[in-house]
Amino acid sequence: MEIQENISLQPYNTFGLQATARYFVEVNTLEQLVTVLKDNTFQNLPRLFLGGGSNILLTKDFEGIVIKINLQGIEKQQENELHVWLKAGAGVVWHNFVLHCIAQNWAGVENLSLIPGTVGAAPMQNIGAYGVEIKDVFDELEALNLSTLQIEKFALDDCQFGYRESVFKHIYKNQYVILSVTFRLNKTPNFHIEYGAIKDTIAEMGVQQLSIKAISDAVIHIRQSKLPNPAEIGNSGSFFKNPEIPIAQFQALKERFPAMVSFPSITPALIKVPAGWLIEQAGWKGFKDGHIGVHAKQALVLVNYGGGKGNDIKALSEKIQASVFEKFGILLHPEVNFI
């Protein structure tokens, strides 16, 4: 373990933004993590725990210590006739975990293929796509209490999962570091192909027999066709959450905008509206301002074409929020965390 000084964070965020960390360290074990946290040098400094760097917007240099969590390993904990429980380290790349499950024909996460980031970040955001969320396969997680340096376990109800929400984003923000997550996968799949273009894509691919591999392949194809590769164009995937609004408000908007799209919400009194559709209707799709802009194929994705600044992307996001609110009366909320 090597603690480095004045390290560029550009390789560690998918926006590809330049910012410097005063201190930087990668930890591969719990013991290394605890050693860093006990070090008197860093006691009074800000701390940033980093996974895949796919959900942050760096707006300035970080005058503290950045701790990259590299805890690895995927281990079967138990199984029965219906389910298998897998424990994965927080530093495992999420898509690699999905591929591992598919290779064993364990179902439940195939719709979440190609989502960037790590296993440890997945429950923080309650990541989701195409009708499936982490909470659907979540069993428990282990997290380090930063005050006591004791390991605590969180069951499903403890995490208070909501739409791209959990206790770790609000009530317990900056109080815990997730070390591992245990998932309960299904031995018999329950296919989810009703969302987005999955069903049509599977048909176009000529799939004769539906499988979790076919669903994963379809999701990967859709995502690659719509979303830019961060290795080529800096981005963090979906920049805003899909807003959930009262049904009465949606019905009133539907009269003014008949083409308005919607999806069911888990909250009966609300309905979900695609943020990308709202942004596109407000005229932002394909917008470019110097080194930054809005992706030409997916208005939900803000991009850094190279040399962009985090503050410029933040300012652009605020202009988009104001524009959408003016047109629709809906306030968009970022999924991305501003640093």
Specify the DSSP element, H or E, that contains 175.
Answer: none
The per-residue pLDDT for 237 is: 86
The per-residue pLDDT for 207 is: 84
Positions marked active-site = 164, 238, 335
- Enumerate residue ranges in the chain where pLDDT < 70: 196
The per-residue pLDDT for 196 is: 67
Domains and CATH numbers, the chain: 4-69 (3.30.43.10), 74-186 (3.30.465.10), 234-338 (3.90.78.10)
Q: What is the pLDDT of residues 256-267, one digit of tens each?
A: 999 998 988 878
